[in-house]
Amino acid sequence: MVFSMLFLPIILTPLFFLLTLAILLAVVGKSFGLRKFYVQVLLKVFDFGREKITFQPDQEEPSSDSDSDGERNSPNFDSVTQNGDEVKLIHRQAKVHTKKIPNVRSLATLQHEFQLKDAMYFCRSGIESIVEDDVTQRFLSSELSSWNLLTRTNLNYQHISNRLTFLWLVGGIFRYCVLLPVRLCIVSVGLGLLVITTAIVGYIPNRRMRFYANKYFTIMSCRVITRAFGAVIRFHNTENRAKPGGICVANHTSPIDVIIMQNDNCYALIGQRHGGFLGMVQNALSRATDHIWFERSVAKDRLAVASRLKSHVQDVTKFPVLIFPEGTCINNTSVMMFKKGSFEVGGTIYPVAIKYDSRFADCFWNSSKYTMLEHIGMLLTSWAIVADVWYLPPATQLEGESAISFANRIKSEIAQQGGLVDLEWDGGLKREKPKASLKQLQQDMYYSHHMKAT
């Protein structure tokens, strides 16, 4: 009892001071650079862990003064997010269905001279598609080139050394006993600011004043929230930032994409209406400005979105609309099909590419496996969030260009800038079965190859 009375204030006082300082710096948009230094320290720790995993216990470890791979390949912060996922984790030499089908004979011949090898090509194609296809792998956490001392790892690392085990244990205690309580306090303050300020801003009668007040308080609150995740965000080409009356489109990895984007600009949002925690945040945001929420399962809601969106972008006094045209979260290795709806309303499109460094946190939200709160909890107990955001030059639909072609052009530009794989598959396959038209396409391709062979 005496111990707690004497030493608890000594521990809590500097902690409270640091917490208050972090919030105040976030409010004014300033930083002492401690998060960047923290990221650099983490990279050194990861390099040590990689060396302990790479070198077997019976091998001599590289001396500290040698030019080891860890020292040569340890990236500076400037290349953290750009080089963090250089290894292509989902790779196949060629799409099976585009290879020429070998030695296919006519149907009449097959009826009399069937051989087992005639079916082996298609068996192989089917097995490869089941084991590692181009779609379902995008809805799973991507592989890591080296263990980051977090729980998630797809390589099933086992005990390597006592020092590495001790480092993992200390890291776990630090993340759950130090980072988590502090981050929970900061995110509570940020969300509280967001809810309270949007409620107050909603009562401002002057529309112009309400516009600027909402912009200031939204950006301020989002900056506080991102500090709770230890986020280090770099915005590139800010001269291309979305302007009122436009539509900002970006690839989608997690609901925190919205928070990341609103560290630098304020947006009107469009998306599926949620319940629970996320629904509370949506209601708070709607008090201060116009947002477009819809029910994915209600057809008339989806039909009404297009007209509401068109009227919104025609009003230059409203915030630009932030849209994620994929319609679902992808694991930040790829960009999947953009829905054409946001490209049919006209106006200027402002593309944005978002790339997270998966070494510090797995920012992908697997909504079929984790709830929103579970996902946020995993982020709060991760090391940090390191992200690059690129603003691409604004674009408009060309004369004679269809909405689908326009969407594909923007998607390709985002994929190229973010170092992501450009895929044509619909992200809706995350929840639904393939459409009959996709099956028909494969059948037509097989028939075409068959006719050429005969």
DSSP code at position 333? S
Residues 397-420, mean pLDDT to the nearest whole number? 92
Task: State both tokens at 200.
Answer: 């107050």
Q: Per-residue confidence at 5, pLDDT binned at 50, 70, 90?
A: low
Q: Please state, rounded to an integer, the average pLDDT across all residues of the chain.
A: 77
- Structure tokens given for 10: 């000594």
Q: What is the predicted pLDDT for the residue at 174?
A: 92
- Pick the closest to residue 359 from 257, 232, 264 (CA basis): 232
**pLDDT grade, residue 258 (50/70/90)?**
very high
Both structure tokens of 165:
């085990």
For residue 117, the SS3 value is helix
Q: Per-residue confidence at 354, pLDDT binned at 50, 70, 90?
A: very high
Give the phi and the psi of residue 453 in degrees, each rounded to 5.
-70, -30
Of the listed ranges 9-23, 201-215, 234-248, 414-428, the one predicted with least confidence: 9-23
Intra-chain end-to-end CA distance of the chain, in Å: 90
Q: Which one has a higher pLDDT value, 199 or 453?
A: 199
For the whole model, what pTM was predicted? Answer: 0.76
Query: For 57-68, how does the pLDDT look when each residue is reduced to its tens digit (9 = 90+)?
Result: 444 444 434 333
The Cα 43–Cα 39 span in angstroms is 6
> Across residues 87-100, what is the average pLDDT?
42
Look at 94 and 348; give whichever has higher pLDDT.
348
Q: In this predicted structure, what is the pLDDT of residue 406?
A: 94
Judged by average pLDDT, the poorest of 1-10, 242-251, 374-383 is 1-10
Residue 301 pLDDT? 66
Q: Are 249 and 327 in contact (CB under 8 A)?
A: no
Q: What is the pLDDT of residue 92?
A: 45
Residue 178 DSSP one-character state? I
69 pLDDT tier (thresholds 50, 70, 90): very low
**Averaged pLDDT, 289-305:** 73
Query: Which of 72-81, 99-108, 168-177, 290-299 is predicted least confidently?
Result: 72-81
Q: Determine the pLDDT at residue 247.
A: 93
**pLDDT tier for residue 18 given thresholds of 50, 70 and 90:** confident
Rounded distance, CA 327 to CA 302, Å? 12
Strand, coil or helix: what is 391?
strand
Burial of 410 (0-12, 13-18, 19+ CB in 10 A): buried
Mean pLDDT computed over 174-181? 91
Mean pLDDT for 300-312 is 77
Average pLDDT on 93-97 reads 42
Q: What pLDDT score does 65 carry? A: 42
Instruction: Kindly state the tokens that stand for 126.
Output: 């089917």
Q: Which residue has the tokens 């690059």?
A: 388
Residues with Cβ within 8 Å of residue 403, at least 6 apart in sequence: 340, 343, 344, 397
- 429: which DSSP letter? G
| pLDDT for the residue 434 | 64
